[in-house]
């Protein structure tokens, strides 16, 4: 499966579809913040997502019910891998250093991370 990067608008629609599991365009618009986009705008984004292979639909008369084909977990992994490659040279050390420096992680949070790392190491052995 080849995942493509989504635009902001496409990602917003996907977030809603992942949450709802399936929806018609009106359902998607209802979940969007004010000011609500035009029906045609959302309908166009939905058709683009279908073209990219992210969603499909079932037809019930004149209504199309859309549902995700790609899970949010798969897209999360794709975006994380892309971020690791593009911004951290695939170095988890660089990523953790960035998080510690930028997000001002507390000693308690660092201890929790260390515990998690130890737990994961034990599971891999």
Question: 113 and 79 share a domain?
Answer: no
CATH classification of the domain holding 14 = 1.10.10.10
Question: 81 and 105 share a domain?
Answer: no
> Model-level pTM?
0.78
The span from the CA of 10 to the CA of 6, in Å, is 6
Residue range of the domain that includes 96 = 91-124
Question: 57 and 105 share a domain?
Answer: no
What is the chain's pLDDT, residue by residue, as a tens digit (125 residues)? Answer: 678 889 999 999 999 999 999 999 999 999 999 999 999 999 999 999 999 999 999 999 999 999 999 999 999 999 988 888 898 888 888 887 888 888 788 888 888 888 888 888 888 77
Residues whose CB falls within 8 Å of the CB of residue 16, separated by 6 or more in sequence, listed in order: 23, 28, 31, 32
Residue 124 backbone dihedrals phi, psi, to 5 degrees: -80, -20
pLDDT of residue 102: 82
DSSP letter for each residue of 2-19? ---PPPHHHHHHHHHHHH
pLDDT of residue 95: 83
Q: Which residues pair with 65 in a beta bridge?
A: 58
Nearest Cα residue to 28 out of 63, 3, 62, 52: 63
Question: How many residues are present in the chain?
Answer: 125
pLDDT of residue 30: 97
pLDDT of residue 75: 94
Question: 63 and 114 share a domain?
Answer: no
Question: 37 and 97 share a domain?
Answer: no
| Total domain count, the chain | 2
Question: 103 and 83 share a domain?
Answer: no
Question: 26 and 71 share a domain?
Answer: yes
Question: 73 and 120 share a domain?
Answer: no
């Amino acid at each position: 499966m080849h995942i493509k990067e989504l635009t902001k608008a496409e990602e917003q629609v996907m977030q809603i579809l992942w949450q709802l599991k399936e929806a018609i365009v009106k359902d998607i618009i209802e979940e969007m913040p004010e000011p609500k986009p035009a029906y045609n705008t959302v309908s166009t984004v939905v058709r683009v997502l279908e073209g990219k292979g992210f969603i499909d639909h079932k037809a019930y008369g004149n209504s199309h019910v859309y549902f995700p084909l790609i899970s949010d977990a798969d897209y999360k992994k794709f975006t994380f891998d892309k971020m690791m490659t593009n911004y951290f040279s695939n170095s988890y050390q660089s990523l953790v250093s960035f998080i510690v420096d930028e997000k001002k992680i507390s000693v308690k949070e660092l201890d929790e991370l260390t515990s998690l790392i130890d737990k994961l190491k034990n599971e891999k052995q």
